[in-house]
Amino acid sequence: MLTSNLLLHNSSNYKYRWYPALKEIRLAEGDEGKSVPMGQVVEGLALLEAAFLSCSKGKSFFGGDSIGYLDIAFGSFLGWLRATEKVAGVKLLDEAKTPHLVGWANRFCSHDAVKDVMPKTEMLVEIANILKAKFRASAPN
């Protein structure tokens, strides 16, 4: 319930800006183009850190001891988050800023139900680079 309330009340911070901001970071040229979307992603990750702390109550996953719907929903972004870090040369999921979320991400990705189906970062980096090239080729000069 608390996570739902956090996301509903902060929807402009998370729901509508977070994933598009990841895309902007991947497509950006230079550090200047990354600064605003980086701030949006970091803000969204801070919101997720707070939601995790509230929901998990010290346990391994958002819903407690085992993976639940929220873990799957948020976990589906982890592959692209890690690919964005590599493509853009940035650190988004930072242990100093969101230590509990980093721990959760590691537990989630290494869980038996997830580890064999989570897309490999290298594959997503290749896809991101292909999409970036196509986007640039079709962009007006």
3 state SS of 56: helix
Residue 12, pLDDT score: 52
Residue 95, pLDDT score: 96
Residue 29, pLDDT score: 84
Q: What is the mean pLDDT of residues 2-17?
A: 52
What confidence tens digit (pLDDT) does each residue in 94-137 have? 999 999 999 999 999 999 999 999 999 999 999 999 998 998 88
- Give CA–CA dist 61/27, Å, rounded: 32
- Give CA–CA dist 114/91, Å, rounded: 23
The lowest-confidence range among 2-11, 15-24, 41-50, 108-117 is 2-11
The overall longest dimension of the chain from CA atoms, in Å, is: 52
CATH code, 123 = 1.20.1050.10
Cβ 92 vs Cβ 86: under 8 Å: no
What confidence tens digit (pLDDT) does each residue in 37-71 have? 999 899 889 989 999 999 999 999 998 999 999 99
Q: Please give the residue range of the domain that contains residue 49.
A: 2-138
- Counting the structural domains of the chain, the total is 1
- The pTM (predicted TM-score) of the whole model is 0.83
Confidence of residue 14 (pLDDT cuts 50, 70, 90): low
Residue 16, pLDDT score: 66
